[in-house]
Structure 1
Amino acid sequence: MKLLLLLPFLQGPIWVCAVAETPLSSPIVPPVSPASMAPFSADVQVENEWKPTDLDMKVVIALIVAGTALGAVILSFLCFCICYKKCLSKFNRKNVQSLDVEKELARTSSLRKFCSFKMDDKKGSISIFDYKTIQKATSNFLESNILGEGGFGCVYKARFHHNLDVAVKKLNCESQDAQREFQNEVDMLSKIQHPNIISLLGCSSNGDTRFIVYELMQNGSLETQLHGPSHGSALTWHMRMKIALDTARGLEYLHEISNPPVIHRDLKSSNILLDANFNAKLCDFGFAIADGSQDKNDIKISGTLGYVAPEYILDGKLTDKSDVYAFGVVLLELVFGRKPVEKLTATQCQSIVTWAVPQLSDRSNLPNIVDPMIKNTMDLKHLYQVAAMAVLCVQPEPSYRPLITDVLHSLIPLVPSELGGTLRVPQASEPPPST
């Protein structure tokens, strides 16, 4: 047997053995004459020296080259994996702040461009905008960009990068009430996600001034549509029923699904906003309270004249039925096109409730007092159903009012299926339904 060679390869020792072509019966060490062994010491071994051939050396060199190349490939792959892992970890840390924003905005396709914006800071899951960004987006709060006005400030149209339009509410928070309203609205909207409730995009501050950034609702408020220059001409009967249904869905989420339940406390036509497709969304949660979070009998009475339930005004009793009363007032606005409170004289006003309820006792007169913009455009049976529903919602006794869920289920059959209800609208060739 030839001498074993140890090759130090990268993956461990490789032993190469060359076997001589000597028969197994032949002696391993060739015979030596006794005379020749005499000079040797007893502990000296005799070796049969093997000299490698050129072919053997080529094989060894080829194995060494192949092993070295394989080791280099493996080493390069390991280095690449380590570098990739480090870069990926760095990238994830750099973008972790934008993950919550992406989740919030993925629901609305028109807001997806917003995800690429650079946020200056985060407060929980709320994006904090730099004041200069807000100032630039509103053209330094240009008066022509004002969308509406509230008790503590104005709402401006703003344009950010990528031509994304949003709405910015500017609040003067020098008073504790204004500061409380700002904080309450941000806290509420940061926890609420529903298609019929306005989406909060972020907030900002500059001294005593606070800013809340929302998605832009292109068709403004229901109040502007009904009582503005167009006087409701853009709102058909079916469109009005869709707006009522959307509003009821938003309220049902607050009353029945949200945990804890939420009472809006300031539901009115100016706080129902309409997007480009006239989908309705509730906004302005500055007065909203979480049911059970505080003693509702001890809070300051808030709301808008004409929408506030009588038991809340007289006794300070607040329940979800207070929102149902306000919803009934909105329903009357949609049917009759009248404002919630109208002046009769310089010193006398009349609410839509005190005007409408006595009128609705005469069913035959109802088609004559509906909003002229929608007169003779609806199924009279549906008109009677909506009028009866509105009367129930504005009952003086809260226990007589229905739950918003009951109102919702009553509205669904009155809204065409393409608008979110279940009503099948007959085609032009089909005869109209009998009344």
Structure 2
Amino acid sequence: MPIGSEPHNTPPPPPGAMSPGTQVVVGRHTVAIQVFLAEGGFAHVYLVRMKEFPDPIVLKRIAVPDTERLKSVEKEIVFMRRLGSHKNIVRYFDSQVSPLPTGGFEALILMEYCPGGGVIDLMNRRLQQRLTEPEILKIFGDVSEALAYMHYCNPPALHRDLKVENILISASGRYKLCDFGSACLSKGTYVPQTLPEIQKLEDDIQRHTTLQYRAPEMIDIYQKRPINEKADIWALGVFLYKLCYYTTPFEEQGPLAILSAKFTFPPRPQFSDNTRNLISWLLSEDQDRRPNIYQVVETVCKLRGKDCPIRNVCWCKH
């Protein structure tokens, strides 16, 4: 859902969209619709004003057809509420879920508006003059700090759908992680044992993750390796590779290449050995050889000549 789209590029409102000036109550807040921004799936997205906040914010209005989908939306809200106070995570303001008279439910979510659009938009604008290594490390550093905030929860929270499409750019130029519809709590070293448990996990992975960013342990669940924070670390490796080369490392070869972690670096554009070594470390086939999130943040801070803003904590180690 492109919640960072620029207002002057907005499409015409679809049938049923709320008109400018409409007052909407969301939890403890009343907002006024300014402009329709986008639609996707079951959702309409609006730019709105709220008295208590000086800047415009986003209202996401989701038509929820049944209780199964409602559980998913409510889970996303729970994670946004929990995570919304970090500088590199899209801020959550309030939400409300109501039954509709025609059946189903309506979910309203208020969140931060990122006028810089998304990283995917930035990359599309920079097809000729690609992102520079310092720019890439800044984006990667911001996203790594957001992920550290999630992994440092107790129990750790996994994003599970980390990709360029889920990074927005704030008014101040900060890069922010969004879309927590796939997030879940880590089960640590848990491995499903029975066939129904394995099939349930396989179905969950199919619905909540993106193939090109899946770790080897997600591709072949029958190897019975735990799926935990190290799957997010692998996705960070794919993310960094994509920022550098505008493609994913396993785009052409597919799942078999992911299983064996076989990939190559294109000759152009050129990047430092340090950055390429970081990608290789993140994309270790053996999850125990991948760094934890503290090691990732520490490494990228060294590459950027910055002090590491987080401390190492014991439950982040695997």
Q: Same fold by TM-score, threshold 0.5 exceeded? A: yes
Matched-pair contact (CA < 8 Å) for 2:215–2:258: no
**How far apart, in 2, do the equivalents of 1:183 and 1:232 lie?**
41
Partner of 2:177: 282
Partner of 1:252: 148
- What is the deviation of 1:245? 0.7
Percent of counterpart pairs with the same letter? Answer: 24
- What is the deviation of 1:244? 0.5
- What is the deviation of 1:213? 1.2
SS at match of 1:359: coil
Partner of 2:298: 409
Q: Which AA in structure 2 matches 1:410?
A: T
Correspondence for 1:231 among 104, 110, 127: 127
More helix by share: 1
Change (3 A) 1:240 1:189: same
Matched-pair contact (CA < 8 Å) for 2:187–2:228: no
Partner of 1:261: 156
Partner of 2:283: 394
Partner of 2:274: 385
Partner of 1:313: 219
Partner of 1:369: 268
Partner of 2:91: 199
Cα-Cα RMSD: 3.5
**How far apart, in 2, do the equivalents of 1:274 and 1:386 lie?**
22
- What is the deviation of 1:268? 1.2
Query: TM-score scaled to structure 1, two decimals?
Result: 0.53
Residues 64-122 of structure 1 show CA distances to partners (whole Å, capped at 9, x for unaligned) of xxxxxxxxxxxxxxxxxxxxxxxxxxxxxxxxxxxxxxxxxxxxxxxxxxxxxx9967x
Residues 254-311 of structure 1 show CA distances to partners (whole Å, capped at 9, x for unaligned) of 11x2122111111111112211233112111122112349x77445222112111121
**Which is greater in Rg?**
1
Change (3 A) 1:204 1:406: same
Matched-pair contact (CA < 8 Å) for 2:75–2:181: yes
Aligned residue-pair number: 265
Q: Which AA in structure 1 matches 2:43?
A: G
Correspondence for 1:216 among 98, 113, 118: 113
**How far apart, in 2, do the equivalents of 1:338 and 1:180 lie?**
34
Given the alignment of the two structures, is residue 165 of structure 1 paired with residue 165 of structure 2, yes or no?
Answer: no
Change (3 A) 1:180 1:410: same
Correspondence for 1:180 among 46, 62, 71: 71
Matched-pair contact (CA < 8 Å) for 2:131–2:244: no
Matched-pair contact (CA < 8 Å) for 2:298–2:308: no
**How far apart, in 2, do the equivalents of 1:352 and 1:160 lie?**
49
Partner of 2:246: 337
Residues 382-422 of structure 1 show CA distances to partners (whole Å, capped at 9, x for unaligned) of x21111111221222211211121111111122255xx879
Comparing 229-238 with 176-185, greater Cα deviation is found at: 229-238
**How far apart, in 2, do the equivalents of 1:334 and 1:398 lie?**
22
Query: TM-score scaled to structure 2, two decimals?
Result: 0.70
Residues 3-42 of structure 1 show CA distances to partners (whole Å, capped at 9, x for unaligned) of xxxxxxxxxxxxxxxxxxxxxxxxxxxxxxxxxxxxxxxx
Matched-pair contact (CA < 8 Å) for 1:221–1:270: yes
Change (3 A) 1:359 1:296: closer
Matched-pair contact (CA < 8 Å) for 1:217–1:273: yes
- Runs (4+) of structure 1 moved beyond 6 Å? 348-354
Runs of 5+ unmatched residues, structure 1? 1-117, 122-126, 361-365, 423-435
Given the alignment of the two structures, is residue 153 of structure 1 paired with residue 59 of structure 2, yes or no?
Answer: no
SS at match of 1:209: strand
Change (3 A) 1:119 1:171: closer
SS at match of 1:281: strand
Q: Which protein has greater RCO, CA pairs closer than 8 Å, 6+ apart?
A: 2
Task: Please show how residues 113-128 of structure 1 align to structure 2 within 5 Å.
Answer: 127-128=27-28
Partner of 1:109: none
Task: Please show how residues 345-364 of structure 1 align to structure 2 within 5 Å.
Answer: 358-360=263-265
- What is the deviation of 1:197? 1.5
Given the alignment of the two structures, is residue 271 of structure 1 paired with residue 166 of structure 2, yes or no?
Answer: yes
More strand by share: 2
- What is the deviation of 1:240? 1.4
- What is the deviation of 1:336? 0.9
Change (3 A) 1:138 1:304: farther
Matched-pair contact (CA < 8 Å) for 1:415–1:421: no
Change (3 A) 1:391 1:240: same
**How far apart, in 2, do the equivalents of 1:154 and 1:229 lie?**
25
Runs of 5+ unmatched residues, structure 2? 1-22, 310-318
Q: Which AA in structure 2 matches 1:385?
A: N
SS at match of 2:213: coil
Matched-pair contact (CA < 8 Å) for 1:225–1:234: no
Correspondence for 2:210 among 298, 304, 311: 304
Given the alignment of the two structures, is residue 324 of structure 1 paired with residue 233 of structure 2, yes or no?
Answer: yes
